[in-house]
Structure 1
């Protein structure tokens, strides 16, 4: 295990080399708080404790710091890898400031939703442990957010070839894995809660609120909530999601999807959905080009290797063809044919 640490350290430093000061600062903060956790209870002072977040305590600063607190080595590795992946894959598309906003939105949402969930659990069970013994912290919430963002930008890319797993299926597969580990009592409940609320909050932000050149959000079909589930469940999930969205629109939490018609366009009527990202069109264009190149390659491979049946038919045709005619005979035939043509072409006499 130790011999792989220098290699991992080298790859991590190479990944951070091309990132901005935002990613480097967040990574340094995670590493520093991990080192401090050996002597201090950082999860108590900087993680979200549901009972202390509620009045009269109001430890609201923990909403911003809980995503930086790690107490285990595997959590530290996951957080640093997530920040490195976000810096390499998302920061070039969004910019450093938008990545920082996304990090803050996801972590604050994870803290609020997690505290609310544990408070409701306390109301149902009256166990004070759900209010004061639970610590919500770590980078799993942001990991869920990054996976959702990667599903949005590169969902059709292949992560594993055997078995074939695409990027769009990774968020729910990891959620299923964490749920199974929780049922086996191998992970704590706050791990599953952080990741699950990270998925939900990041999708809501990217779907409805993220600002970009085309407006807000991403209302494309490939990023609908039902696409996170298997195809057999998508109709049911889509129906429930539409009902929830309709309720949220009525209470003015989400915006209603509105189509805009540009009647003054020079060529024809242009229909656009607010929030549609040009990256979606670019992604579809790349997929079409890839499919076309593969089809052309197959056609070239087939034309480069003629079949044996064609060779046999060509040889048989040459064998069955008659011999060349005698030159003298050919000349006579040509002369007769020419005289006949001359006779037919002569003018008729009356």
Structure 2
């Protein structure tokens, strides 16, 4: 009983507030169905109703989806928000939600021009599951090697959760048409959340951007035998779109302070940080030396007193 109480407690106020927003938007859409045309992402109506790029991510059209979204939001926030901080947690949700909606909009337009089918333009698309997929990427970032047990039988490391989510969504999308509507949110939510965490998220402790560890590279979302191909393709794309500056940033300069290595991608910033680190280290060594001299002086005084 006590374990169950702990499991369903400790949810953050921010996540509770976001859950309330999801409930309110759902209730409004059910009581006034025409609001779906203004809140959901309908690519053919996004111009001039551009606000649906923001609102679509917070509109769930089924009660099952609403319950699932709220549960995942509360438990994910309980894990991620204390690590990232409330401000960064909210920025992550906003960035992933908006970038996912933009990607789905352009994908729908492209598919319409390729196929000529109007349903790509006028099917209401919405849901919080793009951000939920991003939460799994966040779990991969902070605890990749944590072992997770499902149904007391199936065991896997947390780093495979995003890949499993995408794989299951692709398989399920072939079974029902409704499930296919969720697939773009899952795929784009997974990708954009990784991109944000990899290059743009600011670490509140180090004030540095991104998570450049090899364990968080894009190829780690794929099985081992595919990683050389993915790394080669990613390297080509990086050179084409980011140039040599971005390629060199992956070499990650670092500075060391108190034995902790912190990644830095900007050479100028790295130089400044190394200088600050050196000064701090010198000050710390100087303080330690003064303390040792003081202790030594006290001991000499004590020895002299004993002799007397």
Deviations 1:228-261 (A, max 9, x none): 1111111111111221222221398998435336
RMSD over equivalenced CA pairs, Å: 2.8
Structure 1 unaligned segments of length 5 or more: list them. Answer: 1-6, 276-350
TM-score of the pair, normalised by structure 2: 0.76
Tell me the SS of whatever aligns to 2:225.
coil
Pick the aligned partner of 2:54 from 61, 64, 86.
Answer: 64
- Say which of 144, 154, 168 aligns to 1:155: 144
Matched, 1:211 2:226: no
| Match among 188, 193, 208 for residue 197 of structure 1 | 188
After TM superposition, give the deviation of residue 157 of structure 1 in Å: 0.9
Higher alpha-carbon deviation: 217-226 or 238-247? 238-247
The one of 90, 98, 106 aligned to 1:100: 90
Matches within 5 A, 1:1-350: 14-15=8-9, 17-20=10-13, 22-41=14-33, 42-53=35-46, 57-132=47-122, 134-160=123-149, 162-185=153-176, 187-212=178-203, 213-250=206-243, 256-260=249-253, 273-274=263-264
TM-score (norm 1): 0.67
Give the SS at the match of 2:211.
coil
Compared CA separation, residues 234 and 51, structure 1 to 2 (3 A): same
Quick check: which has more Rg, 1 or 2? 1
Distance in 1, matches of 2:247 and 2:138, equals 19
Structure 1, residues 253-290: CA drift from partner, whole Å, max 9, x if none? 9984353365xx7999x975327xxxxxxxxxxxxxxx
Instruction: Flag the structure with higher helix content.
Output: 2
Structure 1 residue 36 displacement after superposition:
2.1
With over 3 angstroms needed to count, the CA separation of the structure-2 counterparts of 1:259 and 1:87, relative to structure 1, is: closer
Q: Distance in 1 between matches of 2:238 and 2:193?
A: 16
Counterparts in 2 of 1:163 and 1:122: CA distance versus 1, 3 Å: same
Alignment check: 8 A CA contact 1:107 1:141 kept: yes
Instruction: Report how many residues are paired.
Output: 258
Distance 1:116 1:254, change over 3 A: farther
- Structure 2, unmatched stretches of 5+, are 266-308
